[in-house]
Amino acid sequence: MRVTKTLLASGVVAGPLYVLVSLTEALTRDGFDLVRHQWSLLSNGDLGWIHVTNLVVTGLMTIAFAVGLRRALRPGRGGTWAPRLVGVYGASLVGAGVFRADPALGFPPGTPEGVARVSWHGILHFVSGGIGFLCLVAACFVVARWFAAEVRRGWVRFSQATGALFLAGFATVAAGGGSAWSNLAFTAAVVLAWSWVSALAAHLYRRAAHPAGN
């Protein structure tokens, strides 16, 4: 039980850590504009290692959470696929850190405006992110079914709404061509998705700590 709680705690911390570090970078890095630039661009420049580390660390923490999720949900509904999907999402964050996004839209300073030529690591960054995002969307709906079996309607609606809005945010930024509104919509969707991960991990942590009160 102690191991399960430790693994679930990783999920509680991963989201706030990623968002806090990313926002701190976004507000302090020269030339970065929260309205125009996606957080993945922070992997570039002299301080790019900070965001790379942020992605890798939070990815590993998410993988740890996926293991805890499997231990917490077994043998109930969702105990197989939800952990797998969350685990792939964690692995995709590690991949997104290893394969940096290409500089674009004038960031870092000195980069031409507009979208630059896409490199091989830029393509792999996008592929890693896309696979991970879709897996997290699917995990939201799998977990919603698990909560439906427990007749927890609030969690069902929260999970379904998170999956739908995160998918919409990803589709918006993929089709938005770097517009401000699509970038802001995607940023909001990322924060919502991490909030869901943290809330789910905290809920399961409390269940593990007080099994009699489930």
Cα 44 to its chain centre, rounded Å, is 19
Prediction pTM value: 0.92
pLDDT score for 113: 77
pLDDT score for 110: 85
Instruction: Give dist(CA 66, CA 87) in Å, integer.
Output: 5
pLDDT score for 50: 97
pLDDT score for 174: 79
Mean pLDDT by 10 residues, the chain (214 residues): 91 97 96 92 95 97 96 77 96 96 88 78 92 96 92 94 95 76 91 97 88 57
pLDDT score for 104: 85
pLDDT score for 177: 58
Instruction: Give dist(CA 43, CA 50) in Å, integer.
Output: 7
Cβ atoms 50, 42 nearer than 8 A: yes
Instruction: Give dist(CA 32, CA 34) in Å, integer.
Output: 7
pLDDT score for 17: 97
pLDDT score for 212: 55
pLDDT score for 156: 96
